[in-house]
Structure 1
């Protein structure tokens, strides 16, 4: 079995009030830095990753670097793990978008698999590129442990693929900052999801 530890970056500004953050560069807050330290400590104490792949956005690079340093390895950037491109909605608040484009906003929540953001991506686009990174991890590191540091949307679509669930189920999953998902994948492609959105390591962060 190859073990995939799928994680998310730490807390950033723009989560409250909710904004379509996407590709915007946002720094980890003090809380986010503490969360990343707690996540790194837990991973290093429990597993022995041989690789850490991160989104190119700095909030993920920094989170991944903390994990890699704790494990004595070096993080590697993978563009495929970058956050979804919200296009014209990027960094706008949900209230703003809902007021300006109520039908499109409603569709995003009712039928996410049918939504393409204006001047941006669809969930199918995210699946294609993020799954390529997962495939690389499985091919390069069989029978070993790899950490993937992504974003809320990226993690949700990867989990849906691994659970053999449709993109229409996007909103049924939650991915909190510095969460931990543990997935085992056999050489034949058999998948066992051992934990989803585990944040127990953040109790003291």
Structure 2
């Protein structure tokens, strides 16, 4: 019998893990980490879609970062619950801090930081962006955050409004992927990842990068 069938009979904690909706400048290749950028008009529509989708999914808790592109969605999801729920803010769920690269486009980075960009691709896990974080740094703060979420909601259903980098390093850990390969995991704006973590600690990724918001 397939492992997924065996685990269907066990207790589990379910994570509805979303990437936040589209942000201003996102489609132009602008990179944001800790910069608190607003949602685009398309992102505002996606926010409504996420809240509507989650409205009939009764959750025990809602989590997001303190950045508005995450927190506003978490608030909307909480407002759609019966009864309403106040989201829990966890700064450890913030996106990768990009230091001197915050708010720049990929084109600008290629033109102004060619050596740094090459160094990053040569050591994707360990390279620390000037004034910022490495993917290893990100994983070290994200993994304990998700451990707290899962441990604090055992057997429950949880909604997390994450960021692309945050989601990737968490998913890579679940799948046993090295950080050097996390960009093989796509995380589109407003995508959903559905994950069940069983009582024995074994995770089952049921859906990945699912686009359900039109």
Q: Which residue of 1 is the match for residue 62 of structure 2?
A: 52
Match of 1:155 among 135, 157, 167: 167
- Where does the alignment leave 5 or more consecutive residues of structure 1 unmatched? none
Q: Which residue of 2 is the match for residue 143 of structure 1?
A: 155
TM-score (norm 1): 0.93
The 3 A distance-change label for structure 1 pair 6 and 118 is same
Match of 2:72 among 62, 73, 79: 62
Report the Cα distance in structure 1 between the residues aligned to 2:141 and 2:92, rounded to whole angstroms: 5
Report the Cα distance in structure 1 between the residues aligned to 2:55 and 2:120, rounded to whole angstroms: 37
Query: Cα RMSD (Å) of the superposition?
Result: 1.3
Match of 2:204 among 192, 202, 205: 192
Deviating above 6 A after TM superposition, structure 1's stretches of 4 or more consecutive aligned residues are none
Aligned length: 201
Report the Cα distance in structure 1 between the residues aligned to 2:209 and 2:148, rounded to whole angstroms: 23
Q: Which residue of 1 is the match for residue 22 of structure 2?
A: 11
Deviation at 1:27, TM superposition (A): 1.1
Deviation at 1:116, TM superposition (A): 0.9
Residues 98-177 of structure 1 mapped to structure 2, 5 A cutoff: 98-109=110-121, 111-177=123-189
Residue pair 1:49, 1:144 contacting (<8 A) in 2 also? yes
Residue pair 1:5, 1:146 contacting (<8 A) in 2 also? yes
Deviations 1:119-163 (A, max 9, x none): 100111111111122111111110101111111111111110111
Deviation at 1:103, TM superposition (A): 2.7
Deviation at 1:109, TM superposition (A): 3.9
Deviation at 1:19, TM superposition (A): 1.7
SS in 1 for 2:28: coil
Match of 1:33 among 28, 41, 44: 44
SS in 1 for 2:30: coil
